[in-house]
Amino acid sequence: MFSRSDFNIWSVLKNCIGKELSKITMPVVFNEPLSFLQRMTEYMEYAKLLRIASEQSDPIERLKYVSAFAVSALASNWERLGKPFNPLLGETYELTRPEFRIICEQVSHHPPISAFHADSESFSFHGSIHPKLKFWGKSVEIQPKGTVTVEFPKLGEAYSWCNVNCCVHNIIVGKLWIEQYGMMDVVSHKNGLKATLNFKTAGVGNKDLHRVEGYISDRNKRKTHFLYGKWTEFIKCTDYTSYEEYCKENGYKFKRADERSKSPNESPGTTPRKVLSKLNSLKMSSFKSLSISEPDDPPEPSEGDIPKSDSTYSIDIPNSVSLWEAEARPGNTAEYYQFTNFAMSLNQLEDHMKQPRALCPTDSRLRPDIRKLEQGDMDGAAAEKTRLEEKQRENRKKSKKGDDGGLFPRWFKHTINPHTKQEDWIYQGGYWERTDDTLELDIF
């Protein structure tokens, strides 16, 4: 990994005021050597939780493990400050592991939408993500718009939820760090059950850094279980009665130290408008595409430092059961973009993939800019990234003229999700059985 200490992200972002960040070309030094399709595949690192869920006879037990899976999907984000490469239209990524197989495709360029479908003998997991970025002066907020769905076909059950927001702090001064925050509802469409999870902001004194708390409620809205832990480390569960008894003696552990009214002139990054107005003497009126008044509000608990969790607020409620624990990262993770062991494997070109037609020619592993960055060739990566962006623009011109035959997307269709009743990109099948790779799919 290259050191970013000599690069100032503000020198780039100051020219982005009034523009959608998803359309801004960022220097390759801020990238990590993965496509967003590969980053999305990291949802599956703890896929075994879905298998365990499918083996439970009690629907509440199944919801516990599905909820733990929803939280575990975010664990690899901690300290991952590199930006994944934007996928090209038609780009794909496949991965096969003992617990699952997954296919991802970039189904839209503007707006950028990535779709995925994973399956196994016991479950399927699918969805589409339309990431939106907002710049708040001291922070960048990433909103992963879209819904994800888990299905257990043998049980006739489906669960769905939306991922919470992510905020990258200290983008101008200090050390970059991220936090996940917001509410997540994991809904069981068949049984009327719901897990309501609150991903807390760090708060004053970093008391709630990484904290996740929530409860499971039945179709009568009666709370049956309490879920708690940290999205970076673990999730536990206990019955709601044990939680209430624990609260009577340890209520201070669940009270926010920073419960207070917020000033109406503060943005979601708690960046006062007067601060924004001072940045390069910019005027607030130039923020054409940004809303300053939305309710989601990740606070900025420190000025320039990476916060550390206060271990004195650890919680271990009686009768708790551990649902998930994060795997330890490799010892050299800081030298390799803070990747987990799972992430480090995603670019691997296995021997069978090198055989003719074994790998789809649109697979992210074949992208030259990602490969060059992985090999440490920064200049080569930048040159290839520029070449691919120009090539994509030319392909878009052909598409508008109808010269490409409407080839992309190939594997997903824009339709209605039968469980959420909302628009979604649904896998149409055929990828793993494909025989038409003789087509000139030259996107790289």
- 76 contacts 38 by C-beta, under 8 angstroms: no
Cα distance between residue 334 and residue 348, in whole Å? 20
The model's pTM: 0.85
Provide CB contacts within 8 A for 391, sequence distance 6+: 443
Selection from 433, 430, 341, 427 nearest residue 148 by Cα = 427
Amino acid at 328: A
φ, ψ (nearest 5 deg) of residue 405? 70, 20
φ, ψ (nearest 5 deg) of residue 276? -60, -40
pLDDT by position in tens, the chain (length 444): 877 665 666 566 665 555 555 556 678 888 999 999 999 999 999 999 999 999 999 999 999 999 999 999 999 999 998 889 999 999 999 999 999 999 999 999 888 999 999 999 999 999 999 988 887 777 888 888 899 999 999 999 999 999 999 998 887 777 888 899 999 999 999 999 999 999 999 877 777 889 999 999 999 999 999 999 999 999 999 999 999 999 988 877 776 544 433 433 334 444 444 444 444 433 333 223 222 223 344 444 445 566 776 554 567 899 999 999 999 999 999 999 999 999 999 999 998 888 888 899 999 999 999 999 999 998 999 999 999 989 988 888 776 655 555 678 999 999 999 999 999 999 999 999 988 765 668 899
**Strand duo 165-169 + 139-145: pairing:** antiparallel
Cα distance between residue 20 and residue 110, in whole Å? 11
Write down the pLDDT at residue 229.
Answer: 95
Give the SS3 label for residue 309: coil
Classify burial at 301, counting beta carbons within 10 Å of its beta carbon; exposed 0-12, middle 13-18, buried 19 or more. Answer: buried
Selection from 181, 190, 180, 167 nearest residue 60 by Cα = 190
Write down the pLDDT at residue 274.
Answer: 43
